[in-house]
């Protein structure tokens, strides 16, 4: 065992009882105190199973056969209780709501201390100290469900830090956060790492976002095996990310398109620090000049309109104020902005889940106020952000076909539509599985499939790719684009700036309940004022263009996106 290793896998393997083949093979991995690791891999690669072995969910909650050895603090985990493991490893879940126990933030943070029978005076001091450390002191008396996504994550982190664990494990910490909050989350994790001697392990497939701050190593998992254990610089120069189903940072791909040869010595892990000599910058400029812009897409007839829409919740909070926009038939549009900006509220008004206070909405000239929720659903499909709020059946196929069955469609047609939707969403092999056996990301794909099966004219998707790896992200988005080419109008509410750049020619930016910008995504993400106002995140392509001396950064961003889509399509 390497000196001082806190975690050590030795020829480790694992096979779930319900599966015919192992999920993990021959894992050899050590983690030392104070190290910071990123474990990355596509969905189904085994990275989550690896995490479950570390935090004790395997074997105490998820049953299966283990081979080899896993040591925690020098002791085999087979000799440790779940309680003992929890004293060493603290886990911050992808779905923060699933982690809350207390009725208030303070109670939730104190939960582990209460279990340990810590005296009240000491408990209050420790809760106050850790709350200050993660900046949630001002919300200690709030209920967890009242918090923003970023605040929830901070509270979850405080709940495991209060026990002074040796390992902090983050399971897809960026999945439900807006770009600016996600950036702050990575900065917070980095600050906590520096303040403590805890080993930090981040499970995530959004490589570029995690590398906003330094990590010591990136462990790449594919098909149940570790295929790489390298420094970020070495990994980004290896080409292993794309070969193993993950997206490499956009600026890395742009440099490759321009013919720039990367080496670890260039420090490519950050766009701000990658060393670009004049020859490299000239190659980028030359690529831009020789790459023609894609033709602009013409907008069709006006299909949907909203005029001066305003809405307030019963508590008096104004969620929308004077919102007006028009949507063309067959258009693809993204709605972006920080958490709480009014994006989801606007969609709920469109679908009839809420009734607007002022203004009007029309579909093909008909006032939507005249239609019931069921009548609107015949034209407008809505995929909610949280899949648990949409699922009502225990089996996958039943859930996807529920609306079709309720509409009285013949059984054969229901089956055909369900299977087609499941294939598109990568769920066909699981069609006879219970929903409870799926991961959060897989549940998300079930809800997308249930709406796709209804064949609506407009599909509104709230975070359609949250929790999806690059492969499934691409499959879902390419299918949505195929639907769009057949005439279906697509509206996506998203925090994913890559998605907005790649798949939508139009971005409507919400901030504080108002529309502050309606432009092309490339221009939105090249405007520092809009980025700051709406809590977005400047694309690394813009930074690359500026560093290479290009006078039209937004045009460079757009040409790269067009070129990259064409290249991947081939």
Gap between the Cα atoms of 264 and 274, Å rounded: 10
Please say if the pLDDT value at position 101 is more than 70: yes
Q: Provide, rounded to the nearest whole percent, the portion of the chain with pLDDT above 90.
A: 43
Q: Provide, rounded to the nearest whole percent, the portion of the chain with pLDDT above 70.
A: 97
Rg of the chain over CA atoms, in angstroms? 24
Average pLDDT, the chain: 88
Q: Within 13 A of 533's CA, how many CA atoms are on the CB side?
A: 16
pLDDT at residue 441, rounded to an integer = 67
- Quick one: three-class SS letters along 1-68? CCCCCCEEEEEEEEEECCCCCCCEEEEEEEECCCCEEEEECCCCCCHHHHHHHHHCHHHHCCCEEEEE
* Cα end-to-end span (Å), the chain: 47
Gap between the Cα atoms of 162 and 128, Å rounded: 10
Please say if the pLDDT value at position 2 is more than 60: no
pLDDT-based confidence at residue 332 (cuts at 50, 70, 90): very high
The string of pLDDT tens digits covering residues 545-566 is: 999 999 889 899 999 988 888 7
Q: Which two tokens stand for residue 6?
A: 């806190």
Gap between the Cα atoms of 320 and 343, Å rounded: 9
The string of pLDDT tens digits covering residues 57-99 is: 888 888 899 999 999 999 999 899 988 998 899 888 776 677 7
pLDDT-based confidence at residue 3 (cuts at 50, 70, 90): low
Gap between the Cα atoms of 417 and 421, Å rounded: 6
* Helix, strand, or coil (residue 384): coil
Q: What is the mean predicted confidence (pLDDT) over 497-507?
A: 88
pLDDT at residue 274, rounded to an integer = 93
Gap between the Cα atoms of 16 and 14, Å rounded: 7
DSSP category for residue 483? H
Buried b (16+ CB within 10 A) or exposed e, 154-174: bbbbbbbbbbebbbbbbbbbb
Q: Order the strands of the 89-92 sheet from edge to edge.
A: 89-92, 167-171, 199-203, 36-40, 217-222, 225-230
Number of Cβ atoms within 10 Å of the Cβ of 343? 26
Gap between the Cα atoms of 355 and 320, Å rounded: 12
pLDDT at residue 1, rounded to an integer = 46
pLDDT at residue 537, rounded to an integer = 82
Q: What is the mean predicted confidence (pLDDT) over 335-350?
A: 88
The string of pLDDT tens digits covering residues 134-164 is: 778 888 888 887 777 677 878 887 887 777 8
pLDDT at residue 176, rounded to an integer = 67
Please say if the pLDDT value at position 402 is more than 90: yes
The string of pLDDT tens digits covering residues 363-378 is: 888 999 999 888 888 8
Please say if the pLDDT value at position 334 is more than 90: yes
Q: Which two tokens stand for residue 348?
A: 């709920």
């Amino acid at each position: 065992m390497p000196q001082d290793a806190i975690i050590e896998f030795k020829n480790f393997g694992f096979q779930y009882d319900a599966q015919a083949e192992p999920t993990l093979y021959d894992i050899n991995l050590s983690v030392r105190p104070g190290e910071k690791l990123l474990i990355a891999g596509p969905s189904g690669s085994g990275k989550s199973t690896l995490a479950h072995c570390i935090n004790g969910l395997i074997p105490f909650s998820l049953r299966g056969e283990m081979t080899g050895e896993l040591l925690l603090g020098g002791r085999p985990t087979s000799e440790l209780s779940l309680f003992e493991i929890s004293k060493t490893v603290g886990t911050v879940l992808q779905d923060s709501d699933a982690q809350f126990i207390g009725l208030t933030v303070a109670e939730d943070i104190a939960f582990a201390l209460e279990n340990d029978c810590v005296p009240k005076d000491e408990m209050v001091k420790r809760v106050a100290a850790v709350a200050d450390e993660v900046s949630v002191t001002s919300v200690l008396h709030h209920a967890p469900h009242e918090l923003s996504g970023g605040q929830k994550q901070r509270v979850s982190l405080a709940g495991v830090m209060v026990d002074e664990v040796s390992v902090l494990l983050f399971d897809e910490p960026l999945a439900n956060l807006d770009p600016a909050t996600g950036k702050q989350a990575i900065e917070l994790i980095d600050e906590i790492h520096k303040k403590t001697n805890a080993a930090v392990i981040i499970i995530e497939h959004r490589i570029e976002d995690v590398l906003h701050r330094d990590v010591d190593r990136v462990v790449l998992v594919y098909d149940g095996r570790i295929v790489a254990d390298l420094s970020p610089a070495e990994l980004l120069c290896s080409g292993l990310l794309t070969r193993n189903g993950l997206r490499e940072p956009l600026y890395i791909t742009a440099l490759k398109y321009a013919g720039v040869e990367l080496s670890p010595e260039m420090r490519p892990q950050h766009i701000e620090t990658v060393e670009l000599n004049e020859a490299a910058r000239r190659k980028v400029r030359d690529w831009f000049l020789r790459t023609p812009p894609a033709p602009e897409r013409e907008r069709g007839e006006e299909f949907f309109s909203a005029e001066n829409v305003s809405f307030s919740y019963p508590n008096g909070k104004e969620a929308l104020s004077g919102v007006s926009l028009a949507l063309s038939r067959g258009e693809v549009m993204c709605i972006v902005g920080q958490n709480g900006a009014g994006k989801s509220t606007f969609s709920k008004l469109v679908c009839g889940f809420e009734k607007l206070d002022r203004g009007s909405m029309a579909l093909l000239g008909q006032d939507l106020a005249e239609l019931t929720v069921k009548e609107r659903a015949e034209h407008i499909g809505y995929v909610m952000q949280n899949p648990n709020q949409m699922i009502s059946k225990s089996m996958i196929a039943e859930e996807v076909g529920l609306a079709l069955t309720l509409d009285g469609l013949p059984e054969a047609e229901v089956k055909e539509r369900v299977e087609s939707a499941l294939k598109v969403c990568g769920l066909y092999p699981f069609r006879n599985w219970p929903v409870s056996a799926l991961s959060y990301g897989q549940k998300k794909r079930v809800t997308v499939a249930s709406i796709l099966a209804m064949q609506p004219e407009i599909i509104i998707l709230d975070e359609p790719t949250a929790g999806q790896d690059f492969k499934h992200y691409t499959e879902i988005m390419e299918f949505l684009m195929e639907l769009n080419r057949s005439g279906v109008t697509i509206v996506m509410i998203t925090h994913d700036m890559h998605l907005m750049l790649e798949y939508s020619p139009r971005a409507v930016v919400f901030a504080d309940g108002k529309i502050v910008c309606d432009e092309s995504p490339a221009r939105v993400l090249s405007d520092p004022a809009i980025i700051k106002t709406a809590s977005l995140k400047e694309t690394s392509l813009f930074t690359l263009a500026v560093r290479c001396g290009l006078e039209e950064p937004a045009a460079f961003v757009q040409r790269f996106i067009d070129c990259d889509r064409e290249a991947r399509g081939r």
